[in-house]
Structure 1
Amino acid sequence: MDSITNALNLQEMEALTARLVEMGVQYGLSIVGAVLILIGGWIISGWAKRGVQRALARAGLDETIRPVLGSVVRYGVLLVTLIVVLNQFGVQTASLIAVLGAAGLAVGLALQGTLSNVAAGVMLLILRPIKVGEFVEAAGTSGTVKSIDLFTTELATADNVYISVPNSAIFGQVITNYSRNPTRRLDLTLSIDYEDDMDKAIALARDVMEGDPRILAEPAPVVAVKALGASSVDIAVRGFATTADYWPAYFDITKRLKERCDAAGISIPFPQQVLTVRGGRMPEPEPEATSS
């Protein structure tokens, strides 16, 4: 009886071993195939992204849109790769898509803030209030736009500090674009002493503006008295320059105004106050007490 039992157990063990070997071969090949498909899909998605960006660049498409379209193609290839991998294991993709749809709805409700960034990124790409390479002020910060992705916009400040701003923060607030218009107006203030000749200072400032080739003739520069300040007569000095020449012209003209005022004997006063005592003389200061 024991021999019969041992024989049956041996047969069961052999059958189980054979089954495990068969399953190992079957699923092992599937796992190896799935890994190879994942690696191939990852590599192909990168190639597809770079190829699309190069093709769009040759087609002359704006640099702002090229990275986004390249990312969309990459994620599309990865999605197809995932479906192929699931087919390797016999998963019914039709049922999976329905499950993913329901899960996507739940995830969408949980990630409303993230999805708002995606929606804002799409609107930024459609309306184009900012482009790559432009200097803008948005969401409380300013810098040159480096890239616009589906979730964030990357900026580099004037001192080359990297800043990543959520798209919803940019699209939901006022955007100031300093690079969009081809020209900008320089606004300078020349403050002179009340005893100086205003007409002489105005002529001097106008000569400086008209003598700089970066200041456009149309619209013509404007030099006029702007305000009678507490310590000075303030003269507005305004003129238009191209956006590229704005800061070089601003710095050079500021320096040249100071040099011309010094040469002409026109002073730029420090803040000062005049004290007038009415109804009598100011009391004399008491002498300091001397120690005996």
Structure 2
Amino acid sequence: MEQQATDVIIATRTALSQASALAVQYSFSVLGAVILLFVGWIISRLLHNWAYSGLSRVRGIDETLARFFSNIVRYAVLLLVFITVLGQFGVQTASIIATLGAAGLAIGLALQGTLQNIAAGIMLLVLRPFRVGESIETPAVTGTVTEIGLFATELRTADGLYRLAPNSTLWNVPVTNYSRERLRRHDLTVIIGNHEDIDAAQAALLDLAKGNPAIEQTPAPSTFIADLSKDGTSLTLRYWVGTAKWWATTRDMLRAAKRVFYLPEQPAEDPAPS
């Protein structure tokens, strides 16, 4: 009995000694891990702010893109710190990195379409074929851009409808931007009879252009014969107008041309007999 009690006491002392040694050892590891996490969190915030500030000053970099890349920098630092902390406790970091790589590959294959939209969104934000507020036309969608995101672009159609277009459908196709250039050309064509004076008709067209203050005089408006047929002669007035006023001006010019060329003059009324 005494021998058994002695063995129990010795075993207890050994266990307590080992426990205290482990406590001391891991207490330093835990303390170092906490300090490392705290320092890593501060560094990630500093690098995030530095990257965002630097990218925001780069011409052509959208704010959405600056936030995206700065967040990537922050989370990459945090991931590196987390792996380093695990290494403090004896975890094999090589296997963790391999597992993360395999998981990333699997997620990338599963979200292939989404990643294509992200890549297209980055290219749209960098190259800027269109901006918010501009009117565009593609084979898939037509409308005014209201927001450009990393996954999709929001548009408002001419009849006031909301439309969401994945970025991949806007990147690999031709894009017509109706708002990008300051001036836009318009060709106004009228048909006159073969017996009518061509010079007078061309002069009348030029007078219409000069009488509209919205039409640019540099480059100057010009007229030319567009077509000849047995039914009449087609004359074209070519002029340039500010993009923002293009639609209204073309309609005003059509109305003015209608009055000059296609509305017959009303005969003067005979004076009332005295």
Q: Which residue of 2 aligns with 1:136?
A: 136
Partner of 1:51: 53
Cα pair distance change 1:239/1:264, threshold 3 Å? closer
Q: Residues 84-124 of structure 1: CA distance to partner in whole angstroms, max 9, x if unpaired? A: 22212315544443443333333322222123224434554
Which residue is 1:62 aligned to? 60
Task: Give 1:79 shift.
Answer: 0.9
Aligned: 1:71 with 2:68? yes
Confirm whether residue 36 of structure 1 aligns to residue 35 of structure 2: no
- Give runs of aligned pairs for residues 13-28 of structure 1, distance below 5 A: 14=16, 18=20, 21-22=23-24, 25-26=27-28, 28=30
When the two structures are superposed, what TM-score results if normalisation uses the length of structure 2?
Answer: 0.62
| Pairing 1:70-219 to 2, within 5 Å after superposition | 71-90=68-87, 91-121=91-121, 124=124, 128=127, 130-133=129-132, 134-138=134-138, 139-144=140-145, 146-147=147-148, 151-155=150-154, 157=156, 165-186=165-186, 206-217=206-217, 218=219
Deviation at 1:77, TM superposition (A): 3.8
Deviation, structure 1 residue 51: 1.4
Q: Read off the aligned partner of 2:221 and give its amino acid letter.
A: A
> Does the Cα contact within 8 Å between 2:144 and 2:157 map onto a contact in 1?
yes
In 2, Cα distance between equivalents of 1:28 and 1:162: 53
Aligned length: 248
3-state secondary structure, aligned to 2:81: helix
Amino acid at match of 1:185: R
Q: CA deviation at 1:72?
A: 2.8
Go from structure 1 to structure 2 and tell me whether the alpha carbon gap of 1:45 and 1:131 turns closer, same or farther (over 3 Å shift).
farther
Deviation string 1:11-30 (CA, Å, 9 cap, x unpaired) is 57856864785477346435
- The 8 Å contact of residues 210 and 221 in structure 1, kept in 2 or not, is answered as no
Aligned partner of 2:137: which letter?
E
Cα displacement string for residues 218-237 of structure 1 (whole angstroms, at most 9, x for unaligned residues): 363458899xxxxxxx9976
What is the alpha-carbon root mean square deviation over aligned residues?
4.8
**Are the aligned partners of 2:182 and 2:243 in contact in 1 as well (CA < 8 Å)?**
no
- 8 Å contact kept, 1:222–1:236: yes
State the shift of 1:142 in Å.
2.2
Is the 1:185–1:240 contact (alpha carbons within 8 Å) kept by the matching residues of 2? Answer: yes
Whether the 8 Å CA contact 2:52–2:66 is kept in 1: the answer is no
Q: Which stretches in structure 2 are left out of the alignment for 5+ residues?
A: 228-233, 265-274
Alignment of 1:241-252 (within 5 A): 241=241, 245-252=242-249
Alpha carbons of structure 1 residues 222 and 36: separation in structure 2 relative to 1, 3 Å:
farther
- The 3-state SS of whatever aligns with 1:89 is helix
1:127-157 C-alpha deviation (Å, 9 max, x unpaired): x37043543234414223754x6x4354453
Measured after TM superposition, the shift of residue 50 of structure 1 is 2.5
The percentage of counterpart residues that share the same residue type is: 26
